Amino acid sequence: MTKKTHFSKIILTTLLITLSISCGSNIKTLSKNFVFKKGNEKITFEILNEKQVLSLSKSNRTKFTFYNVDKTKVNLAGQTIRILPESQTSENETFIEMSPKPENLIDGKLSVIVSYKNEGEMRIFKLLIPTEN
């Protein structure tokens, strides 16, 4: 990872955390069905394993699917997440590797903030993803 990319990720994460604190009441928290829907826009999240929970300190494949949302305008912020290369080949899916550690959890769940702007309106939601040892 280049210094510029690393710096950009730090700035983005700081911006999203600041935004989540200042606009806390505008952030929808999803912890059960992992579907965000606003009008005809929809984003779904899946854990790609049999248990449907993230294993701690292990690599977990996950997927975001975007419907009527330009995935190139979506920002993801969270600890221990990494966009996987196969995301480049899909028009409406982004594959993410998540490797949560106990110190990254909030009440046993990994927090990931998803944001994007559409028609001048910022959309922000937070996923609370369940984990197990």
- Average pLDDT value for residue range 19-25: 47
Specify the pTM: 0.75
Extract the tokens encoding 2.
């280049």
Length of the chain: 133
- How many domains are contained in the chain? 1
C-alpha–C-alpha distance, residues 57 and 63, integer Å: 19
Per-residue pLDDT of 56-107, as tens digits, reads: 989 999 999 999 999 999 999 999 999 999 888 888 999 999 999 999 999 9
DSSP 32: S
Burial of 39 (0-12, 13-18, 19+ CB in 10 A): exposed
Beta bridge mates, 115: 75, 124
> Alpha carbon 128 to chain centroid distance?
10
Which pLDDT score is estimated for 23? 46
C-alpha–C-alpha distance, residues 89 and 59, integer Å: 21
Query: The domain spanning residue 33 has which CATH number?
Result: 2.60.40.10
pLDDT score of 34 more than 70: yes
pLDDT score of 30 more than 80: no
Could you tell me if 97 and 58 are in contact, meaning their C-beta atoms sit under 8 angstroms apart?
A: no
- Give Cβ neighbours of residue 87 (< 8 Å, ≥ 6 apart): 93, 94, 95, 96
Beta bridge mates, 117: 122
Structural domain including 97 reads 3-132
